[in-house]
Amino acid sequence: MKTKLFPLLSALALYGAAPPLQAAEFWVGAGSACQYAAIQDAIDAARATPEADTIRIAKDGAYTNQALSIDTPVSLVGGHLACGNAERDGYTSLEGNSRRAVLAVFSDAPERIEVHLDRLDISRGGETLGSTRRGGLSIGGNVHVRLHDSVVRNNYSGGGSGINVWGARAVLTLERWVDIRENTTYGNGGGILVDGGWLKIEPHGVTIKQNRANINGKGGGIALVNGGVLTESTNPIGLPLPVEPVRIIQNSGARGGGGIYVGGVNSKLLASEIRVNENTSDDGHGGGILVENQGEAQLYGFVDAPFRGCRPEEECLRISDNTSVRSGAALAVRSGGTAYVAGAVVRGNALTADRGGNAFLVEGNASNLKLSSSLVADNSCSPQISKCTVMEVISADGDRNTLNVQSSTFARNGHETRQLIAVAGNGEGDVNIHVDLTLVADKDHTINSWGDGEDWPSGLTLVTRSMRNRGPNVDDPDSLVRPIVFADPANDDYRLMPGNIAIDYGEGSDSTPTMDLDHRPRGIDDPAHPNRNNSARNTYDIGAYEFHAVYDRIFADGFETTP
């Protein structure tokens, strides 16, 4: 452990004492210019200096059977061709012994230690019998690890096989160009498990891909449990790198949360630039994301200064092409979970067995979902599923569940006809559903029960201000059936065309979003279109996109958006 010695150093200098060693640079490799052949020996030497040292690891060494332990501030830098050669190419490979973590960082000192890992390929960590802290990289105690331009792959353990971040004080930052892939667990978190710690991701080339949580595991890509937190944002004082979404892709969670699992009190997912794509759940809810047991997810596709965001036309917040055998193929909120999704594209998700929602599920014990300024399109169910809807709300005895949909667009979601939202009651549960300024294309009903003897929940509150393009036309001015003309739905353009009755249809409120999915202001009055009821207050359009005839050419190239 390093201790700050600055007052003592000053006193010694007054008496002419020789200054102690300062931050050092050590070289590890096989050549004659190398100081060490073993990485652990260099780490042990780094403890002797008061400041953070740099250990440069040449690629000409063979680093197998590694079970490294770090408890001191240090930087491990790989990719060097040889000792003393500043040129770097690719990664330095660190292979574990299949019994312990390849690299474990831990400190219980009161002052947090900083560890930097750069240009490393970490693989073959874990244990055949399984342990939640013996994967590729284990981070615990009062530490902050920064990982960039590195790969963590082919590790195995009982949880957090690629990376495990555990304990309330542990922090991991994925800074840029990080690839977490092909790690396998039979617990939670095939790629990364955050067990009470904090995972920070900066949106610069970070990919979490093809990881698996098998048997009873949840969170194939990432699992946040016991107060674990994931935050994603740019660093206002960091390098001005291009902003691109974090990719959670092709992961599998056997019991749910194929891409991401959020479970437990104070466990949180907070992200703006993230794509959850092509993930699966073999026997659980939430092929893309599962939030349960009072966990919380906030996916908010609008970035304010000083943080930077990518351009809206890049669809940087997207949940797409995920599959699940149970309801909520894109996102499932269960057992007291809470999710807020705004400014997202939810497209191409599929329910492959059972009945339920091919996009969303809200079920049980005060679960809550709010969807705002989002496009939900082209989600489907397998043909053999007779009861298929886009959103499902299930409430049993004592449940109080809430679904709030605002200023969103639903289109081309299978099965055609039927309802957008299916409500199922099982006892004396309560459901509160609020649908406001929302377009519902290709559905006969906005809200309906499954029918066939299944009753509505006893305490059902419905508030709708929506528009459909088909189905029975009820005598309700806030649930109109009118033609809806989209710009180019065949090419996924669901913006309104001029003349739609949905333009300048409603009045905003304190809860109405201020920005549409294109990041343009809401409530812009179209001078060529009459307001509903000729009211000057009715300037808000229905759906995910506000009609901006005047501004279309101004924003066509996207340069006016926040960089």
246 Cβ contact list (under 8 Å, min separation 6): 201, 203, 206, 207, 208, 232, 271, 273, 274, 275
Q: What percent of the chain has pLDDT over 70?
A: 89
Q: What is the pTM of this model?
A: 0.92
| Exposure string over 419-443, b if 16+ CB within 10 A, otherwise e | bbbbbbbeeebbbbbbbbbbbbbbb
Report pLDDT for 128. Answer: 63
Torsion angle of the four alpha carbons 178, 183, 187, 188, in this order, in degrees rounded to the nearest 10: 20
Least confident range from 176-190, 376-390, 420-434: namely 420-434
Checking if the pLDDT of 276 tops 90, the result is yes
Q: How confident is the model over 305-346, as pLDDT tens digits? A: 999 999 888 999 999 999 999 999 999 999 999 999 999 999
Q: What is the mean pLDDT of residues 381-410?
A: 90
Cis ω before 415 (30° cut-off from 0)? yes
Q: How confident is the model over 75-101, as pLDDT tens digits? A: 999 999 999 999 999 999 999 998 899
Q: What is the mean pLDDT of the chain?
A: 89
Q: How confident is the model over 479-494, as pLDDT tens digits? A: 678 888 999 999 999 9
The band of 551, judged by pLDDT with boundaries at 50, 70 and 90, is: very low
Report pLDDT for 520. Answer: 93
CA atoms within 13 A on the CB side of 500: 29
Report pLDDT for 557. Answer: 37
What sign does the dihedral 128-129-130-136 (CA atoms) show? Answer: negative
Task: Please state, in angstroms and rounded to a whole number, the distance separating the CA atoms of residues 157 and 373.
Answer: 40
Report pLDDT for 256. Answer: 97
More reliable by pLDDT, 397 or 95: 95
Report pLDDT for 342. Answer: 98
Q: Which two tokens stand for residue 435?
A: 């649908």
Report pLDDT for 438. Answer: 94
Checking if the pLDDT of 202 tops 60, the result is yes
Element (H or E) spanning 180, and its range?
strand 171-181
Q: What is the mean pLDDT of residues 176-199?
A: 97
Checking if the pLDDT of 465 tops 90, the result is no
Task: Please state, in angstroms and rounded to a whole number, the distance separating the CA atoms of residues 393 and 401.
Answer: 8
The band of 16, judged by pLDDT with boundaries at 50, 70 and 90, is: very low
Report pLDDT for 552. Answer: 45
Task: Please state, in angstroms and rounded to a whole number, the distance separating the CA atoms of residues 152 and 174.
Answer: 12
The band of 427, judged by pLDDT with boundaries at 50, 70 and 90, is: low
Residue 312 per-residue DSSP state: G
Q: What is the mean pLDDT of residues 15-32?
A: 73
Q: Which two tokens stand for residue 417?
A: 């006809």
Report pLDDT for 456. Answer: 64
Checking if the pLDDT of 51 tops 50, the result is yes
Task: Please state, in angstroms and rounded to a whole number, the distance separating the CA atoms of residues 217 and 185.
Answer: 7
Report pLDDT for 129. Answer: 64
Report pLDDT for 206. Answer: 98
More reliable by pLDDT, 428 or 56: 56
Q: Three-class SS of residue 561?
A: coil
333 Cβ contact list (under 8 Å, min separation 6): 291, 292, 297, 339, 360, 361, 362, 363, 367, 368, 369
Closest by alpha carbon to 211, among 292, 147, 151, 270? 151
Checking if the pLDDT of 175 tops 60, the result is yes
Pairing mode, strands 388-396 and 222-225: unpaired
Checking if the pLDDT of 10 tops 80, the result is no
Radius of gyration of the chain (CA): 27
Checking if the pLDDT of 476 tops 80, the result is no
Closest by alpha carbon to 8, among 114, 22, 17, 49? 17
Q: What is the mean pLDDT of residues 181-201?
A: 97
Q: What is the mean pLDDT of residues 50-54?
A: 90
Task: Please state, in angstroms and rounded to a whole number, the distance separating the CA atoms of residues 167 and 228.
Answer: 9
Q: Three-class SS of residue 314?
A: helix
Residues forming beta bridges with residue 230, ordered by sequence position: 199, 269
Least confident range from 7-11, 401-405, 547-551: namely 7-11
Number of H helices, E strands in the chain: 2, 48
* String of DSSP letters for 49-87: SSS-EEEEEETTS---SB-EEE-S-EEEEEEESSTT---
Q: Which residue carries 């201000």 as its tokens? A: 465
Q: How confident is the model over 123-152, as pLDDT tens digits? A: 999 876 656 678 899 999 999 999 999 999
More reliable by pLDDT, 457 or 519: 519
Least confident range from 152-161, 310-319, 365-374, 548-557: namely 548-557
